[in-house]
Amino acid sequence: MSQDPLVVFTPSGKRGRFAKGTPVLTAARQLGVDLDSVCGGRGICSKCQITPSYGEFSKHGVTVADDALSEWNAVEQRYDDKRGLKPGRRLGCQAQVMGDVVIDVPPESQVHRQVVRKAASARVIDMDPATRLYFVEVEEPDMHEPTGDLERLERALKREWDIPEIRAESSLLSKLQPTLRKGKFQVTVALHKSHTDDVARVIDIWPGLHEAGLYGLAIDLGSTTVAAHLTDLDTGEVKASSGIMNPQIRFGEDLMSRVSYSMMNPGGDQEMTCAVRDAINTLAEEIAKEAGIEPHLIVETVFVCNPVMHHLLLGIDPVELGQAPFALATSDSVAMPARELDLHAINPRARTYILPCIAGHVGADAAAVALSEEPGKSEDLVLVVDVGTNAEILLGDTSRVLACSSPTGPAFEGAQISSGQRAAPGAIEAIQIDPDSKEPRFRVIGCEKWSDEEGFDEETAATGITGICGSGIIEAVAELRMAGLMDESGLIGSAEATGTARSVPEVRTHAYLIHDATADGGPRITVTQGDIRAIQLAKSALYAGARLLMDERGVDKVDRVVLAGAFGAHISPKHAMVLGMIPDVPLEKVTSAGNAAGTGARIALCNVAARQEIERVVREITKVETAIEPKFQDHFVAANAIPHKTDPFPELSKIVPLPNVSFNTGGDGGGGEDGGRRRRRRRA
Amino acid sequence: MSQDPLVVFTPSGKRGRFAKGTPVLTAARQLGVDLDSVCGGRGICSKCQITPSYGEFSKHGVTVADDALSEWNAVEQRYDDKRGLKPGRRLGCQAQVMGDVVIDVPPESQVHRQVVRKAASARVIDMDPATRLYFVEVEEPDMHEPTGDLERLERALKREWDIPEIRAESSLLSKLQPTLRKGKFQVTVALHKSHTDDVARVIDIWPGLHEAGLYGLAIDLGSTTVAAHLTDLDTGEVKASSGIMNPQIRFGEDLMSRVSYSMMNPGGDQEMTCAVRDAINTLAEEIAKEAGIEPHLIVETVFVCNPVMHHLLLGIDPVELGQAPFALATSDSVAMPARELDLHAINPRARTYILPCIAGHVGADAAAVALSEEPGKSEDLVLVVDVGTNAEILLGDTSRVLACSSPTGPAFEGAQISSGQRAAPGAIEAIQIDPDSKEPRFRVIGCEKWSDEEGFDEETAATGITGICGSGIIEAVAELRMAGLMDESGLIGSAEATGTARSVPEVRTHAYLIHDATADGGPRITVTQGDIRAIQLAKSALYAGARLLMDERGVDKVDRVVLAGAFGAHISPKHAMVLGMIPDVPLEKVTSAGNAAGTGARIALCNVAARQEIERVVREITKVETAIEPKFQDHFVAANAIPHKTDPFPELSKIVPLPNVSFNTGGDGGGGEDGGRRRRRRRA
């Protein structure tokens, strides 16, 4: 008697023998092969497409005959006619094993398909969202065996999908009966399975097979901007990204002024909570419209944010975060109905997940950076800096990860700078000062050319030259130092001392004139002594935070530096090191992670196990509080100087290509909504 | 070396040896003795009061010396000065074991204290509510070891109360920080622990020791009236009972007309849902005011109701319940935040529990009757009939329980009766017709005297004689039969045939004139042929339902009958049997359970294990659907006659005392809000 046919699945290599007539989907399930199916093998969802291979496979020890699978059947033909199947493809639920066969599961048929992030590290996100679709056939009611429709739905989910227990809230109950009847007792349900309990929550239900997909919003809720990525929960694809200003800005530009506003104004925290929730609703509506999907198909939201935004989002007065001991109301991750946050623009039963906070000053955004950049998995010692109004700093390797935040203030974002502005068309974003002539050349956002190149004036005519943004002011200060116009203490010399008329008097000090359009009624753009002091304070704070972690770790250098934050993507590493923003490392060891916090949010949105992972990681992180550490003050004072007086990397002065970044849209920390659309280019 | 002292607790009899100096509370906990404590042994809550006994206890083999416990201490003195301790009482957390001792735990110090129900059966409710208070001391925040306040609260609850995991929603988070600080990190939390999951939900939090108690509402949501019992969740005491009319009456008097309203009017179900939820909010506010408690101290609600009310409460269109196969949207119990039912008058985080439904026509109210009357624990075969607009019928004993509902219509409640009215002052509730003179005498609600007694006219002058209520019409029809005025088919004879002028012509039939005040501008109260037909239909439906269950069970008689429902409390068992409403049993085997559904609701409110119990019982009940059972129709037709033509219990015609009933307030089925205040008296 001959053996049952051997089935070998690729790429997994899983194999087993099955009786003739076994559907390929059944064989895959029994072997634990990752083959998707929403309709449970009814030939209607097409998720289980497979590609049989024919011929000899010495590697697998199998020869596959032409009749190794049952013949192409009517269900497959109907699907092919209606939607089209790629050549060579079969439906796994229809094709039956008839002889030894090698079956390839293409990536799009895998449940846990991987989505390659377009990041420098080229890591991938395994798709494993908390909310998934399940198609089921529910028994019809029988008055002799009376059971509720919900109970029969639960029974069907248990029978067909091995879901042990479901919960449905009353708003779902109210649509259950008409939906079941409209679908002739065939329905698709969206079930949310949390990593913290065993219950599957029914998020929504549709008659028949629901084919319009499910979506999630990964939201990076910054003090300045709110950025959202609308993500397909099946494919992981980002369907649209959008950002808006955080309307709380009217209550205070930075976090501490918002905390003060709450302290000074009874109900002030609630005003700010309402404002940001309204903004998120608006953003959700806009982004759904942009992507052309129904807002109720958004069934999950994941938030990353700093602790003050975290509390204001949750409706918690942030007053305790404004004073020692900076106690968080809750530090663990938060999972709840999105409705509790008044997010009425999306599915009424959508769920929200907020990553855990690390400490009173180190929020869920820093946790998201840790999730994205994984310092705890790094073999070499990596310093991850998320540059924004506050800098979140992580230092670690496989042995241990430390975290702190540092109050850099808004200077890096171009705020509190005399000619400063947000990164927007017309803003100077890059600058060079010739060491000999002391003359500047610069580029502005919205124009590819340098200011001394032909066509620059024409191309900038529309936007004008309006000010200087965060990356521009960092470069300007560093260039002033390298051009010998400024000493180590940050003092700009007089025209007599520097030999250039661009050193102009400014009250009792001097400023450097970059651009003067006053004759045409335009702005006069200078770098003042005050601007330099603001940048010195900011960079000292950042550097002191990094040093403090290095002290805690007992090291005086790091192996590599990752600059995160939308703003981080635009900082020139060379200028950052000239300024002394970050510890010196070889230039090629400085990389940009783009909007790592946003990436972390998207990972948590697409992979429920990542939520468990970051919760574990955050518990194990060593938290360092800068606000009360005397050594922080020492480092801060010591870091005030600007040490490098020459270009430390002359060989790299031609082109410094920045790595691709996956998330460069909006996000807190300077880029603003423009940040995502421009790609920084260095000296041509 | 002498042994450690022996401690014997009464009434449990639990005993053990403990080192000298062990607090009595600690000894009790180690032995699993049921000794309450909210403050965790800090001497502030006084819940752990115990009474030591001194002298010789041969039963226990112990002689208790005067110094068997440590001396009365300052904490006890302070408590005694402030609040007073009963003589002989000690605080279990303060008194330490110093020698062999016998310690009595008085009932009020037991966690699972029993509340005696004032019911005929004198069963007790074990107090074990889902929501309880826990006093804890929370660690203060430490910025060197940053954790959230919630996480430290959770840690304290685990340490002090062995609570493994808590959940808090955002509205609780927003009050967590100020409450902890106001209480100097000593707080009382109300935790809700469901029987279906392991999570303890934080319902509320108060600074310091919360002494104002916790309350729950047991709500019997009837088609006609909504009755609520405000219950102390610590003692089980009913602080107030109140009832209001169900405002859905304006959409339809009976259930089927409400289902029709929903079918005919788009959004009609939502109108009815809003109406009933509004009414419940009003009721909750009123009852809290009546009891003098803050409405936010109401942290639990338990509902019992028929399936249509169940669906309308949950916001589910009841349309499926109006047509075969009468599919419920959900049959299992429902547990959810009360907020989902828009119950905003009570604690915003209060929980709701709705008992399971048995079948499409047999609701959570019938389940509550099963919980209260426990037919499944009866050694003899008991028929439980909850008489209302629909009759819920249970038949069972320890071997098996069957259930059905029967569409009796509203005649038993005085509706659709020519002179019918709700049970309210002025309504005729009892009647006798002299077999010889054929003259009636009657009593009206609000007056203790019979109509032929002296002083009757004076005492009824205020209310008048306004109509005839449910119990009155049942007696009237039965009396007509026994007085020979009506034949077995229900036909009233003419004046010639009966020999009394009270047989008056009425269209083409005859009516019996009970009372005529038309001369004074008052009503003319008669029993018409139409009234008799309505009662016949109702009683036939009830009887046929009971017979159908008896058929299913294979019996032709039952051992006893329990009449439940507020209305059931007022039906004369003799007249019910004369009419053929219920199967014949000896009169002493007919008891009233009062508002058994309301009692069931209160049991489920006070004892979380009872929820699990009734869920199990309901799953095991045999459901019988009357609507499609041909035998039901046969029984119905056969039951139309009124068989008894003489008083079947002449020896009992003097006094038929009704048993005490524990819940006689409001409830569905006729009593109205008046039901609870009057006590039925039979022939003097």
Condensed to tens digits (0 to 9), the pLDDT of residues B556-577 reads 999 999 998 766 778 888 899 9
Q: A330-344, B578-592, B662-676: lowest mean pLDDT where?
A: B662-676
Mean pLDDT (chain A) is: 88
Cross-chain residue pair B340–A148, CB shorter than 8 Å: no
User: Between A470-482 and A529-553, two packed helices, what is the crossing angle to 10 degrees?
Assistant: 90
Cross-chain residue pair B168–A197, CB shorter than 8 Å: no
Condensed to tens digits (0 to 9), the pLDDT of residues A514-547 reads 999 998 888 999 999 999 999 999 999 999 999 9
- pLDDT (0 to 100) of residue A650: 63
- pLDDT (0 to 100) of residue A673: 34
Q: What is the spatial distance between Cα A594 and Cα A117, in angstroms, rounded to a whole number?
A: 12
- pLDDT (0 to 100) of residue A115: 60
Average pLDDT over residues B208-225: 93
Cross-chain residue pair B150–A329, CB shorter than 8 Å: yes
pLDDT band at B650 (very low <50, low <70, confident <90, very high): low
Mean pLDDT (chain B) is: 88
Q: What is the spatial distance between Cα B302 and Cα A25, in angstroms, rounded to a whole number?
A: 47
pLDDT band at B651 (very low <50, low <70, confident <90, very high): low
Which chain A residues touch B176 with a CB distance below 8 Å?
Answer: 316, 329-330
Q: What is the spatial distance between Cα A246 and Cα A326, in angstroms, rounded to a whole number?
A: 23
pLDDT band at A663 (very low <50, low <70, confident <90, very high): very low
Residue A229 vs residues A226, A232, A665, B429: alpha-carbon distances, Å: 10, 10, 9, 71
Which chain B residues touch A329 with a CB distance below 8 Å?
Answer: 148-150, 173-174, 176-177
Q: What is the DSSP string of A456-475?
A: HHHHTTTT---EE-HHHHHH
List Cβ neighbours of A77 (8 Å cut-off, separation of 6 or more). Answer: none
Q: Are A555 and A381 in contact (CB under 8 A)?
A: yes
Q: Are B426 and B464 in contact (CB under 8 A)?
A: yes
Q: Smallest Cα–Cα separation from B209: which of B230, B245, B184?
A: B184
Which chain B residues touch A153 with a CB distance below 8 Å?
Answer: none
Cross-chain residue pair B326–A149, CB shorter than 8 Å: no
The C-alpha of B274 sits at a distance from chain A's nearest C-alpha, in angstroms, of 14
Cα end-to-end span (Å), chain B: 75
* Token pair of A259 as six digits: 């905390």
Average pLDDT over residues A295-301: 98
CA angle A359, A364, A370 (to 5 degrees): 95
Cross-chain residue pair B315–A170, CB shorter than 8 Å: yes
Average pLDDT over residues B80-84: 86
- pLDDT (0 to 100) of residue A651: 55
- pLDDT (0 to 100) of residue B501: 92
What DSSP state is assigned to residue A541? H
The C-alpha of B607 sits at a distance from chain A's nearest C-alpha, in angstroms, of 23
Average pLDDT over residues B412-434: 87
Condensed to tens digits (0 to 9), the pLDDT of residues A385-401 reads 998 778 899 999 999 99
Condensed to tens digits (0 to 9), the pLDDT of residues B176-208 reads 999 999 999 999 999 999 998 888 999 999 999
Structural domains of chain B, with CATH: 6-109 (3.10.20.30), 130-207 (3.10.20.880), 365-410+535-674 (no CATH), 419-527 (no CATH)
Q: B37-41, B425-429, B503-507, B594-598: lowest mean pLDDT where?
A: B37-41
More confident residue, B1 or B665: B1
- pLDDT (0 to 100) of residue A253: 77
Q: Where are the beta strands (DSSP E) in A569-684?
A: 590-594, 622-623
* Token pair of B98 as six digits: 């110093």
Q: What is the spatial distance between Cα A250 and Cα A101, in angstroms, rounded to a whole number?
A: 66
Q: What is the spatial distance between Cα A540 and Cα A632, in angstroms, rounded to a whole number?
A: 10
The C-alpha of A315 sits at a distance from chain B's nearest C-alpha, in angstroms, of 6
Q: Are B392 and B309 in contact (CB under 8 A)?
A: no
Average pLDDT over residues B520-542: 93
Q: Are B367 and B615 in contact (CB under 8 A)?
A: no
- pLDDT (0 to 100) of residue B678: 35
Which chain A residues touch B170 with a CB distance below 8 Å?
Answer: 314-316, 334, 336, 340-341
- pLDDT (0 to 100) of residue B389: 73
Q: A418-427, A537-546, B108-117: lowest mean pLDDT where?
A: B108-117
The C-alpha of B171 sits at a distance from chain A's nearest C-alpha, in angstroms, of 7
Condensed to tens digits (0 to 9), the pLDDT of residues A20-43 reads 999 999 999 889 888 888 887 888
Q: A482-486, A653-657, B263-267: lowest mean pLDDT where?
A: A653-657
Could you give the residue ranges of the DSSP H alpha helices within A607-684? Answer: 608-620, 630-638
pLDDT band at A664 (very low <50, low <70, confident <90, very high): very low
Q: How many CB pairs under 8 A join A and B?
A: 162
H-helix or E-strand containing B194? none
Average pLDDT over residues A210-230: 93
- pLDDT (0 to 100) of residue B657: 38
Q: What is the spatial distance between Cα B439 and Cα B345, in angstroms, rounded to a whole number?
A: 53
Q: Is the pLDDT of residue A416 over 90?
A: no
Output Rg (C-alpha) for chain A, integer angstroms: 29
Chain B's closest residue to A142, CA to CA, is B325
Q: Are A631 and A548 in contact (CB under 8 A)?
A: yes
More confident residue, A602 or B682: A602
- pLDDT (0 to 100) of residue A672: 35
Nearest CB neighbour to B336, from listed A141, A150, A169: A169
Cross-chain residue pair A151–B331, CB shorter than 8 Å: yes
Q: What percent of chain B has pLDDT over 70?
A: 92
- pLDDT (0 to 100) of residue B674: 34
pLDDT band at B365 (very low <50, low <70, confident <90, very high): very high
Most confident stretch, A288-292, A505-509, A641-645: A288-292
pTM value? Answer: 0.83
Q: How many CB atoms lie within 10 A of CB B328?
A: 29
- pLDDT (0 to 100) of residue A540: 94
Q: A179-188, B283-292, B335-344, B411-420: lowest mean pLDDT where?
A: B411-420
